[in-house]
Structure 1
Amino acid sequence: MSRILIAEDDRRISEFIEKGFRAANYTCTAVEDGASALLLARSGEFGMIILDIGLPTLSGFEVLERLRSEGCKTPVIVLTASDSVADTVYGLESGANDYMTKPFQFAELLARVRLRLHDDAGPAPVATISHGELSLDLRSRRVHVGADTADLTAREFSLLEVFLRHPGQILSREQLISHAWDMDFDPASNVVDVYVRALRTKIGARRLETVRGAGYRLT
């Protein structure tokens, strides 16, 4: 089983999470400040990091940014009491793999951890998803378009992954927000359109078709 690092300064929440993971047969280490979280995460001994944003010494955002800038690819699930879209976007763009707001149900957190870890009891994870000339590397977060390669932001990666798992299917903006970023749909938001445009510059405009009044489709 993978070892999980829990960075949470509220001891009640930390103990609640740790108790749940141990019951699910995961080994856990808990810390209460950002500096300790960064030090342990750099060790490479953990397969998953549960990261609170409001940590002393270093915020969760600072820890995340430093880890990603150093090339650390350990999956990170951010926990926060803030439900603002701005914080969600910032966390995802900084390299978080997932985002949960407090209060939360432990069963949901466990399910998300298992999804990211591809639990040892399950089949080996697929390293790439392909469709036509497109190939998405799930480990490096890079997309290969024929002989060309492009790096993706966290949000671009999540969006393209959804498209590649549903090739040829019309996906509404609501579906894309829900599946790619696990956010509530705001009819007034153009966030999907913004990131579709960004993806088109990297994979070619013709590959993402706009279906008027319905959404988008990977051709």
Structure 2
Amino acid sequence: MRILIVEDEARLAGFIQQGLTQAGHVADVAATGPEGLEQAATTPYDAVLLDLMLPGQSGLDVLRNLREFGIQTPVLILSALTDTQHVVKGLEAGAVDYLRKPFAFDELLARLHIIGRKTAGPAGAEALRLADLVLDPLGRVVTRAGKTLNLTNREFAIMELLLRNAGRVVSKTRLAEKVWDVDYDMGSNVIEVHISQLRRKLDRDFAPAPALLETVVGQGYRLREPGAAG
């Protein structure tokens, strides 16, 4: 999942970001209400973790503005305001969940997992398949010809995006938007390096089996069935 953390306490935001990254997610941080609103409105996040007491604009106002803009990204409120009144206001404003501070990080991950399952729906939880390649989104396991591929979190995210668009070219820009942080430098070769490593694990390690990952010069990358036209 790609997650936005809107939190003005730098230490807490850093702790959450580090934990989410280690769990295989991509996490961005915004430190003020206006900054959080702008990022949530312009970047396709899978979830937003939103503090209520923010400088510049309250979390409730950020949430209300997002919903007024028609942005339905799931919002999980993280707040030290623990009374029932604030919980009710947050849920009525459009939050899908409310987690009181301080909280156990494992509980946060569990609640995000539930949000991910609800957002994806039954189809989103199904294994993705192409030829002898299988990806289990919930178990976060990828196999080819029955052998498990040892992928990094970034490589898994790239593989999932490519498999969900099997046969179609995924541009470098889209990869950056879905897999990397908002401050990704489009002039760097980080994506090419990850694709090279993924190609080695997916194709070269299984030679002479047909290659599945293609580079479409000037356009991007795609996974497709061996021998497929296009």
Q: TM-score, normalised by structure 2?
A: 0.51
Partner of 1:100, secondary structure, is: strand
Percentage of matched positions with identical amino acids: 41
Structure 2 residue aligned with 1:15? 14
Counting matched residue pairs gives 125
- Asked whether the 8 Å contact 1:52–1:78 carries over to 2, the reply is yes
Runs of 4+ in 1 over 6 A off after TM superposition: 119-122
- Shift of residue 44, structure 1, vs aligned partner: 3.7
Structure 2 residue aligned with 1:67? 66
- Shift of residue 109, structure 1, vs aligned partner: 0.4
Structure 2 residue aligned with 1:6? 5
Structure 2 residue aligned with 1:38? 37
- Asked whether the 8 Å contact 1:118–1:124 carries over to 2, the reply is no
What CA deviation, in whole Å up to 9, does each residue of 1:89-143 have, x standing for no partner? 00000000000110000000011011101299995259xxxxxxxxxxxxxxxxx
> Whose relative contact order is higher, 1 or 2, with alpha carbons under 8 Å and at least 6 apart?
2
Matching residue's letter, 1:16: F
After superposition, the CA RMSD in angstroms is 2.1
Q: CA 1:70–1:104 in 2, change beyond 3 Å: closer, same or farther?
A: same
For 1:22 and 1:125, locate their aligned partners in 2 and report how far apart those are by CA, in whole Å. 21
For 1:119 and 1:76, locate their aligned partners in 2 and report how far apart those are by CA, in whole Å. 13
Query: Structure 2 matches for 1:54-133, cutoff 5 A?
Result: 54-118=53-117, 124=123
For 2:13 and 2:21, locate their aligned partners in 1 and report how far apart those are by CA, in whole Å. 12
- Asked whether the 8 Å contact 1:47–1:75 carries over to 2, the reply is yes
Structure 2 runs not aligned, ≥5 long: 126-230
Q: TM-score, normalised by structure 1?
A: 0.54
For 1:42 and 1:122, locate their aligned partners in 2 and report how far apart those are by CA, in whole Å. 23
Greater Cα radius of gyration, structure 1 or 2: 2
Partner of 2:99, secondary structure, is: strand
Matching residue's letter, 2:63: L
Partner of 1:118, secondary structure, is: helix
